[in-house]
Amino acid sequence: MSRFRSPVAKVLIVASLALFVVLWGAMIWTAFEHDAVPLTTLDPQGPFSTMIDDLVAPVFIIGGMVFVGVLGAVMYFVLRYREKGDDDLELPKQTHGHTAAEVAWTIAPGIVLAVVAFLTVGVILDLSAEEEGALRVEVYGAQWWWGYNYDITGDRSFDSDGDISTANELVIPVGRPVELRITSMDVIHSFWIPALNGKADAVPGMHRDWKIQADAPGVYRGQCTEFCGLSHANMRMLVRAIPADEFDEWVARQQQPAADPPADNELAVAGQEQFVNLCASCHLVDGLNNEQIAQLHEDDEFPLVAGVAPDLTHFRSRGTFAGGIYNLTYPNPAGDDSPFGATCTLEDLENCGDPTDIGLAGNPDNPLYRPFIEDWLRNPPAMKPMAAEEGRGMPNLNLTQEQIDQLVAYLDTLR
Amino acid sequence: MATPDPGQLALPSGNGAVEHRPLGVFTRPSSSKGWRSWFTSVDHKKIGVMYGAAALFFFIIGGLEALLIRVQLWAPRGTLLTADEYNQVFTMHGTTMIFLVVMPIGAAFANYLMPLQIGARDVAFPRINAFSFWCFLFGGIFLNTAWFLGGGADGGWFMYAPNSSVVFSPGHGIDFWNIGLLITGIASLTGAVNLIVTVLNMRAPGMTLMKMPVFTWMTLVTQFLLLFAIPVLTAAQVLLLFDRAFDANFFNVEAGGDPLLWQHLFWIFGHPEVYLMILPAFGLVSDILPVFSRKPIFGYPFIVFSGIAIGFMGWGVWAHHMFVSGIGPVSVLVFSLTTMFIAVPTGVKILNWTATMARGKLKLDTPMLFCIGLITMFTIGGISGVTHSVAPADTQQTDTYYIVAHFHYVLFGGAFFGFMAGFYFYWPKVFGYLMNETLGKVNFWLMFVGFNLTFGPMHVLGLQGMSRRIYTYDAGYGFEFWNQVATIGAFVLAGSIALFIFNIFYSRAKAKSMANPGPDPWDARTIEWMIPSPVPEYNFDPIPTITRRDDFWYRKYGETEDHMPVRIAATDEVCQSAEGEHDVHLPSPSYWPIVTAFGLPIVGYGLLYTHWLSLIGGLIVVAGIYGWALEPPDDPEAEHDHHDDDHGPVGEVEPDRAEDEDLSESEKEVETVG
């Protein structure tokens, strides 16, 4: 066989191996950098995600040691036992095996895995245990957004008087476990807030229990992770965790139906009319079109595919829209992820973050950022691929700029 | 039984008269030369080569799909593909690579190599073997015609219900996927029966199960996995077909159907599928590594039994694909533990391969480099696999790019590196010329670098929260850098594949002015290397008698008491020669396998467009089966009166005596040396 021992060859080999080492070194280094990676699984912010992280860390370490061991052995054998030239012809001893060694390295990984298994069993059971004093929220996925029904009254029903409904942004109290009952309106989705817990599939016709909890106030991002059709990539959600007293205030506001816009806001009054004509057959604004939407649900008992769209009663209390993929309001500057509380006004936008950076979620108390919502009303499928002609997603309503201005003015009043 | 009417489609047995050919084209073809012979060939070697060529063709299609994916994800909000196009491309990429590339390359090696390794003339059912191949090819082509008829499937290769229903995917893409894979499923199933029967019944005299080369063992395990796994997928696909074509409600939630039913059925198939993709490569490495380490495989029984253990345990782990589906904590716990412990037999293999290299004399030729690549890169995939088996960790990892990284380290770093080793190693045996060694080494290093650049960064992307199957991502999530590295890597990888293809043609051109590499260019160990390169149509003449594992090696070398090898015979003396007359009775070619298989995609198109077409396709299949059944057992023109023995070369007197001589000769030599 031809030899491959030219200097060029050596450079090629050394460069390849060096690249391999540098690549893996850089990968491990950056994996544990948590700045500007809002979906990272390695920076837990709640007790459940911390349990997972504590479990996976030793597994990673053991795995790394095993790999270094195997790689080291292979490299050593290659260097030590490689043929040393064309005249190196002596054949080695024909060893067929060594039963004791083989039994040993069958049992040894078994023992290591038994330790991992022991740790895993405990965490699986802890993660499936019910939590005392939890807030219960029904979570449902729909193509391509998320809806939430809160059991505020604690009667284990999600639609008694005083319970609230919202969409895409889940607001929770800090330090209190939240029990999720997850389901789907159409296909299978998966609810995942990496900082707070692993993911759980939303399966139509099935409710499954899951739980999250945040240890500190903040905005925690999530992404649908079960392929759910056309706009799977654009199905995001976020959790705003706030202190318990603020949460109670938030709930009190959400319990109110939407008020009509003040009469002196002519644009918004006109917008409400447009809403009733154009939007009210799919979107609920509590206090405006309840009967229309209720009828829709009655006609279609399991509202697969069509007939539901996000609840807009308190639309302006959210910082993002369209499945969490566009900012509705200006975000806080980078580094400040307070879920609520204004940081800027329209006059002084320097204290705002860049609204086109979706990694910085809009803060509902900051001013409205108009370009995205206007573009959306102008042509929704251009902003997010949808199959409205098949009854899934929002169609292009061919609105005029005047209609858009009126609708934005109305939506801005839905606080 | 009624005597077949000679006026019908086929000739009656043994009647060679020309006037009995009313439909001349359908009389049994006889030629085994020329391009036409490929369509009628029942030779396992030609079928193996066709499997390999078709798989490489589909590999290029799947690879181009991969490049589209990588370019789309180069930067946030990429615009090369729309969401709909992207969903089709990633679905077809996965489907193509699994069903039309990795599985058929495994089938190519099994077809070509396994009969040679056991000293057989052909597989047990040569015409069924041809039928398997044509089913695979037609199924694969049918699947890809979707691109020209409204777009590919868009539900992901796992095709979860209810997203796969007509309501959520009204086009025909998923129907093409479904029917195409039903057809390739027929190929896998008939192939599995064929190869199992071959291994169990057609081994050369003296080759007991524990003397079989490891690749043959892994083929046996793989085919058993296929035999039991494919019917489960077929059942699930028939349910889906009824749902989509005839408004049945198996997965329709509104009507009380259960979407998790699909998941269970799919993964009961899908996990054994993973092992049946990787085990052929494990077999190849186990046979190639000893050749270039110049010593036997370390712990043959452990290698074999760990493969069998993987085959059994592979059936008890499917629900680890469903840790987040809501199957309940008890199921999660059980499947978490079974999944962890399937790592034990895999680990045993890795350690035995490493030990095979220890104290050897390593010849670092291209096949060896790919073997070492497999051992190290598969280890990474295996370890990340263990991190998924920790179910709570998997709830963070599943459906992210971390999983994408994992299974590409297993299937590319594992299976495909093994196949590359196999290509470089067996190329001279199959085509009669060696691949260029310098290009081969550059090929390896380019592939090694490109592979790590492409799939390594996906570990980080996944752990930092990038979901799978998303056609785009936004700025602000920190996904840009590693996606760009991965895209660059993908082009390096594509370059290494291009270099491989270049090397094929370059080496072939160079080979014209070079001598034939001979039967045994690598000083190999197993009996396929004692016959001429390329392999003659009749394989062995005479069929060798096997006395021990690595039989060919021990025809060349004896061993002293302390296991030092001693040359006892020159390679030329123990190899078979292509010269002289070899009047070996071989199964005749046949038209019927390709005709029968051709009817199946027509039935498929009929199901999609007009049911009358299905009737025509069905008639072709039925006619094909009748023609097949009534076909004379032999070429009417062949004179086979003087030979009723299947493997008797001219001049061979008593096969038993010849075998005895063979045996005593080698044993005597060993003893003398000892």
Q: What is the per-residue pLDDT across B59-77, written as a single tens digit (0 to 9) for each?
A: 999 999 999 999 999 999 9
Chain A residues with beta carbon closer than 8 angstroms to that of B507: none
Q: What residues of A are in contact with residue B260 (Cβ under 8 Å)? A: 203, 206
Task: Identify which of B217, B169, B503 has the alpha carbon closest to the alpha carbon of residue A227.
Answer: B169
SS3 label, residue B169: coil
Tell me if B391 sits within 8 A of A121, measured CB to CB.
no
Note whether A91 contacts B: Cβ–Cβ < 8 A. yes
B475-485 tens-digit pLDDT: 999 999 999 99
| DSSP element (H, E) containing B417 | helix B417-431
Residue range B471-500: mean pLDDT, rounded: 96
Residue at which a domain ends, from B461, B483, B511 = B511
Whole-number percent of chain B with pLDDT over 90 = 84
Provide the pLDDT for residue B227: 97
**Which residues of chain A make contact with B503, given a CB cutoff of 8 A?**
none
- A30 CA: distance to closest CA in chain B (Å): 8
The answer to whether position B479 is within a domain reads yes
> B660 CB contacts (<8 Å, ≥6 apart)?
none
Residues 6+ apart with CB under 8 A from B175: B241, B244, B245, B607, B608
Q: Which residues of chain A have pLDDT under 70?
A: 1-5, 299-307
- In this predicted structure, the answer to whether residue B641 has a pLDDT above a threshold of 50 is no
Residue B634's pLDDT is 63
Query: How many beta carbons lie within 10 A of that of residue B226, not counting itself?
Result: 26
Please check whether residues B393 and B488 belong to one and the same domain. yes
Predicted pLDDT of residue B16: 43
> Would you call B340 and A67 a contact, using CB atoms and an 8 Å cutoff?
no
| CATH classification at residue B346 | 1.20.210.10
pLDDT at A9: 82
Residue the block writes with tokens 């597994």: A59
Within a 13 Å sphere around the CA of A203, how many CA atoms are in the beta-carbon half? 27
Whether B14 shows a pLDDT value over 50: the answer reads: no
Chain A residues 131-170 with CB within 8 Å of chain B: 143
**In the predicted structure, residue B289 carries a pLDDT above the cut 90:** yes
DSSP strand pairing (B557-559 vs A200-202): unpaired
Among A120, A219, A300, the strongest candidate for a mutation testing the B interface, having the largest count of B CBs within 10 A, is A120
Q: Is residue B481 part of a domain?
A: yes
B506 and B599 share one domain: no
C-alpha dihedral, B209 to B211 to B214 to B219, nearest 10°: -30
- Lowest-pLDDT range of A75-84, A171-180, B152-161, B580-589: B580-589
The range of the structural domain enclosing residue B433 comes to 43-511
B381 and B481 housed in the same domain: yes
In this prediction, residue B375 has a pLDDT band, given cuts at 50, 70 and 90, of very high
Detail the DSSP E strand segments found in A227-298. Answer: 236-242
**In contact, B126 and B28? CB cutoff 8 Å:** no
Chain A interface, best mutation among B260, B406, B474, B571, by max A CB count within 10 A: B474
Q: How far is CA B338 from the centre of its chain?
A: 26
Q: Which amino acid, one-letter code, is at A220?
A: Y
Whether A198 sits inside 8 A of B343 (CB atoms) is: no
Span B526-571, pLDDT tens digits: 999 999 999 999 999 899 999 999 999 999 999 999 999 999 999 9
* pLDDT, position B34: 80
Give the pLDDT confidence score for residue B668 in this predicted structure. 36
Residue B362 has pLDDT above 90, yes or no: yes
In angstroms, the CA A325 to CA A320 distance is: 7
For residue B153, what are its two tokens? Answer: 């499937």
pLDDT digits (tens, 9 = 90+) for A99-155: 999 999 999 999 999 999 999 999 999 999 999 999 999 999 999 999 999 999 999
Which residue of B292, B470, B493 to mutate against A (max A Cβ within 10 Å)?
A: B470
Model pLDDT for residues B315-339, shown as the tens digit of each residue: 999 999 999 999 999 999 999 999 9
Q: Within this chain, do residues B283 and B397 fall inside the same structural domain, yes or no? A: yes
DSSP letter for each residue of A157-218: -SSSTT-EEEESEEEEETTS-EEEEEEESSS-EEE--TTT---EEE-BT--EEEEE--SSSE
What pLDDT shows up at residue B580?
77
Q: Do B361 and A90 touch (CB under 8 A)?
A: yes
Report the candidate in B485, B476, B487 with the shortest Cα–Cα distance to residue B76: B476
Domain boundary (B470, B486, B511) is at: B511
8 Å CB contact between B667 and B547 = yes
Largest CA distance in chain B: 81
Among B154, B390, B468, select the one facing A56 at the smallest CB separation.
B390
Mean pLDDT across B157-173: 94
Instruction: Tell me, yes or no, whether B633 lies in a domain.
Output: no
Least Cα separation, residue A362 to chain B (angstroms): 13
Which is more confident, A2 or B360? Answer: B360
Average pLDDT value over all residues in chain B = 90
Taking CB atoms and an 8 Å limit, are B476 and A36 in contact across chains? Answer: yes
| Among candidate residues A81, A16, A66, A72, the one with its CA nearest the CA of residue B368 | A81
Q: Which of A19, A188, A233 sits opposite B472 (nearest CB)?
A: A233
Q: Is A127 on the interface with B (CB under 8 A)?
A: yes
Q: What is the DSSP letter of A71?
A: H
What pLDDT does B163 receive?
Answer: 94
* Contact residues on chain A for B333, CB-CB shorter than 8 A: 121, 124-125
* CB of A112 less than 8 A from some CB of B: no
Is B387 in contact with A78 (Cβ distance < 8 A)?
no
Instruction: Give me the total of CB pairs closer than 8 Å, taking one residue from chain A and one from chain B.
Output: 351
Contact A102 B394 (CB under 8 A): no
CA distance readout (Å), A98 to A72, B281, B306, B563: 21, 24, 16, 14
Angstrom distances, CA of residue A260 to CA of A264, A364, B83, B653: 11, 20, 39, 106
Percentage of chain B exceeding pLDDT 70: 90
- Is residue B8 very low, low, confident or very high in pLDDT (cuts 50, 70, 90)? very low
Strand partners, A138: A149, A181
Q: Which residues are registered as beta bridge partners of A326?
A: A321
Same domain, B136 and B262: yes
Evaluate whether residue B78 is within a structural domain. yes
- Number of separate helices (H) and strands (E) present in chain B: 22, 2
Are the C-beta atoms of B674 and B559 separated by less than 8 Å?
yes
Query: What is d(CA B610, CA B602) in angstroms, rounded to the nearest whole number?
Result: 11
Contacts of A10 (CB under 8 A, 6+ apart): none
Higher pLDDT, B672 or B429: B429
Quick check: A91 and B294 CB within 8 A? yes
Residue contact B467–A223, C-beta within 8 A? yes
Report CA-CA distances (Å) from B258 to A188, A205, B233.
11, 8, 16
Out of A63, A74, A205, the one facing B383 most closely (by C-beta) is A63
Is B560 a domain residue?
Answer: no
Please name which of B604, B439, B162, B393 lies closest in space to residue A48, comparing C-alpha atoms: B393
The tokens for B500 are 């491989």
Residues B616 and B478 in one domain: no
Residue B637 lies in a domain: no
CA distance A155 to A150: 11
Is residue B499 scored above 50 in pLDDT? yes
B185: closest CA among B110, B135, B124? B135
Verify that B459 and B601 share a domain, yes or no. Answer: no
pLDDT at B106: 97
Residues of A in contact with B565 (CB under 8 A): 91, 94
Q: Interface pTM (ipTM) of the complex?
A: 0.95
Could you tell me if residue B147 is inside a domain? yes
In a domain? residue B14: no
Q: Inspect the interface and report whether the beta carbons of B395 and A78 lie closer than 8 Å.
A: no
Q: Which pLDDT belongs to residue B26? A: 58
Distance CA B10, CA B28 (A): 8
Residue keyed to tokens 């291209």: B366
pLDDT at B636 over 90: no
Number of domains within chain B: 2
Where is the domain boundary, B490, B511, B532? B511
